[in-house]
Amino acid sequence: MSIRRTLTVLCMMAIPVCLIGIGLIETSHKSSAHAQANLMTPTMQSPVGTWRVTIHLKDGTQIQALYTCNSDGNLTETDTTPQTHPMGFGAQQSGHGVWAVVGDGIVGTTYVKFHYDSEGVFTGQTTVSERLFVGSSGKVMGGTFKAITVNRLGDLEREDIGKISGTRLAVVPM
């Protein structure tokens, strides 16, 4: 068999393997929402949407927040942390992160908020991890959180734990 024919045969044999490989790559890159949907139980309500949330800190402080859970597994958080509260040092930005189904009826979230001083210099960040339960009505949720705040060097500034409760935002008729 000539070298040209051998290469042609090998290439012809490799094409189906390449196509299968491409198919596998495409499957693995599908939206995480598809994978998460497979983990959701029939009675579990999706967290996708916007939620009005109250964050109950251990010291009694209550912070109002809005969470938006996108169908692709991304999460955006905006809150009213007072600048005078130890968890609200410096100017803050919105929190950005992810959510995923982590158990039967349980949604896990992690998001990060950067902190800046009055001149806009980065001073640290807070990473928040949560375990949330969406009620069977799909209109309420609750859970617990842990927030770890570090300074710009990565040194631990504080840890907070607490509870979260919230209601799904709905269209208000005009």
Model pLDDT for residues 109-122, shown as the tens digit of each residue: 999 999 888 788 89
Query: Rounded to whole angstroms, how far apart are CA atoms 22 and 167?
Result: 42
Residues 89 and 17 in one domain: no
Indicate whether 90 belongs to any domain: yes
Residue 106 placed within a domain? yes
**Domain-located, residue 38:** no
Q: Is 156 within the bounds of a domain? A: yes
Would you state the pLDDT for residue 156? Answer: 97
Q: How many residues does the chain have?
A: 174
Q: Is the pTM of this model over 0.75?
A: no
**Rounded Cα distance, 37 and 140, in Å:** 19
pLDDT, tens digit (0-9, with 9 covering 90-100), for 127-147? 999 999 998 888 999 999 999
Convert the pLDDT of each residue in 11-59 to its tens digit: 444 433 333 333 333 333 344 444 444 455 545 688 999 999 999 988 8
Residue 57 — φ and ψ, nearest 5°?
-80, 155
Q: Are residues 54 and 123 in the same domain?
A: yes
pLDDT recorded at residue 41: 52
Give residue 88's pLDDT band: very low, low, confident or very high (50, 70, 90). low
Asked if the model's pLDDT at residue 8 lies above 50, the reply is no
Q: In which domain, by residue range, is 12 found? A: 3-30
Enumerate helices (H) and strands (E) in the chain, giving the number of each: 2, 9
Q: What is the DSSP letter of 30?
A: S
Strand partners, 155: none
